[in-house]
């Protein structure tokens, strides 16, 4: 594989020794909702650090590194040499030793991750100490905020927000709405940096190990990362943080694939820099045919249109929409502006058809996600081309070919494993075969005198592989309700293990153990309290909440559980914290048991001030594996499958995430022995990834 040169560090590339500016002001500062470095708007592309050399992270396209602890002297020197910026906590010597000019590579002091309302007082105290002892005036202070948005938004200079895309029932197409709500809840006065997951949650990995006996490689597909990043940008994010808990410099196939994916993502993000750093949102258009959403951002030099399409399949996945000609309405630009399509080879001019009040821009052979720049400024076009050309066309084509080849290898192995289990994969096999032929065509074009011709078959090959994933999920998930959470149904690579487990349980011809959850039928309040059910709500006097057993709306028996919450304000915005959290009585579960948590939910009207509605999760899988329930006129079934690797006490949590009412009934917890010995028998996909 060709190792490309590093991508642009950002619009605020600066000298390696910013301390020579000769001022007591920090090189980085906040101006409204914009972070500036040396007076220029800055788009932070952040990666969480796990010990990798800063030069490697720079070469992957990151311009900012987040440290979990204060930097060492050597790290400060290395960051300066690599030309990357740092986000980190202040040193333990804060208050004893001043924060001197040696820290000029730090663009923001971090008050920590997963900060909530109760953490605010300590956060305020730490911020005051930083401001008192930092010799550089105006250096931003940042934290990852999970609730208590109003208070944190009034104290921070930037906030990191995010929500897990693994939550079952949460439409990833709605991630942008979440970012928008969080931005407004923080007061819309500071920049918001949005999370994009570089890895699946550790809770999911643990559950797969407990359930299947092994964990195959679980790479994040590029299309999902692109969807989340662009949705965040289209809804006001000023920066992107890739969450990461594993090193990116290991030489195993899974790590190399993850590094390739992040390099490709940063290359795509480079073209958006001018608008992310300092642009404004000027509109969205959701009314186009074919499931296309167009978002428009504007700065003083032009507009950026972000177009993403999703299919109408029962289980859509990002990227499964066909490569085809599309027409984008542009109601926000001047009729004299020129439109440019952002491609692997740079900006390609597009033809426009002018109508009264808008321009229609045609994109031929457009993939599912497209960027269009609309401008009259040749300097902007030249700058974007310069940024894109940091990775030469052949280098970009080689990178994409490698990514497509790796995902082809994964899907080929999954298909073989499915066939071993006797599953019909003819549709999937056809899509994978198409991808093989298209990849061969792309490889031939890449070696020709016109390597740009490789882009179209690569787009098509990626679409066929996304379609193969979509069909894999459709086959595996169809027997279950829409609100079924099983660790083995969350990634294409674990679907063979899902079928092995299902076959093993069916062949044993055994039944589930009796329900072990006391009070889950919601028939007797005193019985629930005696068994250990708990009700928690935030100490907010503006909230009115109710938890009661009701006979007016039930699934079975005489009563059901009703949860209701409202806010005194007419338009409260994003809920500062979940208004109600119900925790079940404990259920003791022996090791090596498969656990089935089952219940029924009805939500008559949408839950407001949240994108999550009502969530249900358990102590084995945690919040990252929750089921998200939205409005439903009828009772909807909810099922969570979990594995207990050791003797455990299992509790179920029912969370009303916003304002409204929801009904829950007939909640049960049952167990069954996991099949003896390793569940999975097929070769792990890691052996088939290319070296």
Distances (CA, A) of 172 to 226, 310, 484, 508: 11, 11, 16, 37
Task: List the structure tokens of 295.
Answer: 């978002």
- Whose structure tokens read 């899907």? 411
Rounded Cα–Cα distance for residues 416 and 463 (Å): 20
CA dihedral sign of residues 615, 620, 621, 622: positive
- Whose structure tokens read 């808990």? 245
If you ran DSSP here, which 8-state letter would residue 623 be given? G
Query: Any alpha helices (H) in 345-493, and if so which ranges?
Result: 378-388, 393-420, 426-446, 455-477
Select from 328, 289, 329 the least CA-distant residue to 312.
289
Distances (CA, A) of 641 to 99, 482, 671: 50, 14, 10
Q: Give 350's contacts (C-beta < 8 A, 6+ positions apart).
A: 339, 340, 341, 361, 362, 363, 372
DSSP labels, 423-434: ---HHHHHHHHH
Rounded Cα–Cα distance for residues 552 and 604 (Å): 13
Distances (CA, A) of 524 to 84, 520, 546, 548, 587: 60, 10, 17, 10, 18
- Chain-centroid distance of CA 591 in Å reads 32
State in Å, rounded, how far the first CA of the chain is from the last one.
10
**Angle at the Cα of 345 from the Cα atoms of 339 and 350, rounded to 5 degrees:** 20
Q: Give 691's contacts (C-beta < 8 A, 6+ positions apart).
A: 253
User: CA dihedral in degrees (133, 137, 138, 140; nearest 10)?
Assistant: -40
Q: How many residues are listed for the chain in this entry?
A: 691
User: What's the confidence (pLDDT) of residue 574?
Assistant: 86
Per DSSP, the three-state class of 643 is: strand
Q: How many CA atoms lie within 13 A of 332 on its CB side?
A: 22
CA dihedral sign of residues 60, 224, 470, 327: negative
Between helix 455-477 and helix 393-420 the angle, nearest 10°, is 30
Select from 31, 11, 46 the least CA-distant residue to 157.
31
Exposure b/e, 437-465, CB count within 10 A at least 16 = b: ebbebbbebbeeeebbbbbbbbbbbbbbb
> How many CB atoms neighbour CB 530 within 10 A?
12
Instruction: Identify the helix (H) or strand (E) that includes residue 480.
Output: none
Question: What does DSSP say about strands 627-629 and 614-618: parallel, antiparallel, or unpaired?
Answer: antiparallel
User: What's the confidence (pLDDT) of residue 164?
Assistant: 65
Q: How many CA atoms lie within 13 A of 560 on its CB side?
A: 21
Question: Do residues 488 and 642 lie in contact, with contact meaning Cβ atoms separated by under 8 Å?
Answer: no
Question: Do residues 230 and 297 lie in contact, with contact meaning Cβ atoms separated by under 8 Å?
Answer: no
- Whose structure tokens read 């969370």? 655
Instruction: Identify the helix (H) or strand (E) that includes residue 571.
Output: none
| Ranges assigned E (strand) in 559-631 | 560-567, 580-583, 587-589, 593-603, 614-618, 627-629
> How many CB atoms neighbour CB 632 within 10 A?
15
- Whose structure tokens read 């999902």? 224
User: What's the confidence (pLDDT) of residue 684?
Assistant: 34
User: What's the confidence (pLDDT) of residue 423?
Assistant: 81
Between helix 455-477 and helix 426-446 the angle, nearest 10°, is 160
Per DSSP, the three-state class of 342 is: strand
Per DSSP, the three-state class of 128 is: helix
The widest CA-to-CA distance across the chain, in whole angstroms, is: 79
Per DSSP, the three-state class of 404 is: helix
Per DSSP, the three-state class of 565 is: strand
Rounded Cα–Cα distance for residues 17 and 30 (Å): 20
Rounded Cα–Cα distance for residues 190 and 127 (Å): 16
Q: Helix count (H) and strand count (E) of the chain? A: 15, 33
CA dihedral sign of residues 405, 407, 408, 409: positive
Q: Looking at the DSSP assignment, which residues form a beta bridge with residue 99?
A: 134
- Chain-centroid distance of CA 194 in Å reads 9
User: What's the confidence (pLDDT) of residue 354?
Assistant: 60
User: What's the confidence (pLDDT) of residue 335?
Assistant: 66
Instruction: Identify the helix (H) or strand (E) that includes residue 498.
Output: helix 495-507
Query: Any alpha helices (H) in 478-569, and if so which ranges?
Result: 495-507, 525-531
Rounded Cα–Cα distance for residues 218 and 206 (Å): 12
Ranges of the chain whose pLDDT falls below 70: 1-23, 164-170, 287-290, 335-336, 354-357, 677-691
């Amino acid at each position: 594989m060709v190792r490309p040169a590093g991508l642009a560090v950002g619009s605020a590339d600066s000298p390696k020794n910013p301390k020579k500016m000769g001022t007591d002001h920090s090189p980085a500062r906040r101006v409204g909702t914009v972070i500036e470095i040396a007076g220029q708007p800055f788009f932070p592309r952040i990666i969480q650090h796990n010990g990798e050399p800063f030069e490697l992270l720079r070469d992957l396209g990151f311009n900012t590194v987040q440290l979990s602890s204060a930097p060492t002297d050597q790290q400060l020197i290395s960051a300066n040499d690599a030309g990357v910026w740092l986000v980190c906590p202040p040193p333990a010597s804060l208050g004893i030793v001043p924060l001197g000019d040696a820290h000029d590579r730090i663009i923001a002091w971090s008050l920590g991750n997963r900060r909530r309302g109760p953490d605010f007082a300590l956060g305020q105290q730490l911020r005051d100490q930083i401001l008192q002892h930092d010799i550089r005036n105006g250096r931003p202070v940042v934290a990852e905020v999970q609730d208590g948005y109003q208070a944190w938004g009034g104290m921070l200079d930037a906030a990191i927000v995010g929500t897990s895309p693994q939550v079952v029932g949460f439409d990833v197409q709605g991630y942008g709405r979440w970012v928008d709500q969080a931005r407004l809840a923080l007061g819309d006065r500071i920049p918001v940096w949005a999370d994009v997951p570089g890895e699946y949650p550790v809770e999911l990995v643990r559950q797969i190990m407990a359930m299947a006996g092994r964990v195959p490689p679980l790479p994040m597909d590029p299309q999902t990362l692109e969807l989340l990043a662009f949705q965040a940008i289209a809804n006001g994010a000023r920066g992107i943080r890739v969450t990461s808990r594993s090193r990116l410099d290991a030489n195993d196939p899974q790590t190399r694939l993850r590094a390739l994916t992040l390099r490709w993502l940063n290359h795509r993000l480079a073209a958006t820099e001018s608008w992310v750093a300092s642009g404004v949102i000027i509109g969205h258009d959701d009314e186009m045919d074919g499931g296309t959403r167009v978002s428009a951002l504007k700065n003083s030099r032009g507009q950026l249109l972000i177009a993403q399409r999703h299919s109408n399949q029962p289980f859509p996945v990002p990227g499964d929409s066909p490569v085809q000609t599309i027409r984008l309405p542009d109601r926000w630009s001047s009729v004299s502006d020129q439109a440019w399509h952002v491609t692997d080879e740079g900006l390609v001019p597009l033809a426009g058809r002018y109508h009264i009040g808008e321009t229609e821009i045609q994109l031929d052979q457009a993939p599912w996600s497209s960027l269009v720049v609309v401008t009259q400024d040749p300097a902007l076009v030249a700058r974007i081309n310069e940024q894109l050309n940091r990775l030469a066309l052949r280098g970009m084509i080689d990178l994409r070919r490698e990514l497509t080849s790796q995902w082809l290898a994964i899907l080929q192995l999954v298909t073989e494993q499915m066939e071993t289990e006797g599953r019909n994969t003819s549709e999937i096999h056809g899509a994978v075969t198409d991808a093989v032929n298209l990849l061969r065509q792309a490889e031939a074009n890449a070696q020709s005198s016109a390597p740009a011709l490789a882009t179209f078959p690569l787009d098509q090959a990626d679409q066929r592989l996304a379609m193969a994933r979509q069909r894999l999920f459709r086959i595996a998930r169809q027997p279950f309700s829409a609100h079924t959470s099983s660790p083995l149904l969350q990634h294409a690579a674990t679907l063979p293990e899902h079928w092995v487990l299902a076959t093993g349980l069916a062949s044993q011809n055994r039944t589930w153990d009796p329900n072990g959850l006391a009070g889950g039928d919601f028939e007797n309040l005193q019985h629930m309290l005696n068994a250990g059910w708990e009700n928690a709500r935030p100490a907010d006097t503006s909230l009115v909440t109710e938890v009661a057993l009701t006979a007016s709306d039930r699934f079975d028996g005489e009563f059901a559980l009703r949860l209701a919450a409202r806010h005194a304000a007419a338009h409260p915005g994003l809920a500062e914290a979940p208004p109600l959290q119900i925790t079940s009585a404990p259920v003791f579960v022996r090791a090596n048991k498969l656990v089935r948590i089952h219940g029924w939910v009805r939500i008559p009207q949408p839950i407001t001030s949240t994108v999550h509605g009502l969530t249900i999760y358990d102590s084995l899988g945690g919040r990252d594996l929750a089921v998200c329930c939205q409005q439903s006129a009828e009772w909807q079934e909810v099922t969570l499958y979990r594995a207990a690797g050791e003797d455990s006490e299992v509790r179920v949590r029912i969370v009303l995430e916003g304002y409204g009412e929801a009904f829950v009934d007939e909640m049960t917890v049952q167990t069954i022995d996991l099949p003896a010995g390793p569940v999975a028998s097929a070769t792990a996909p890691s052996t088939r990834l290319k070296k």
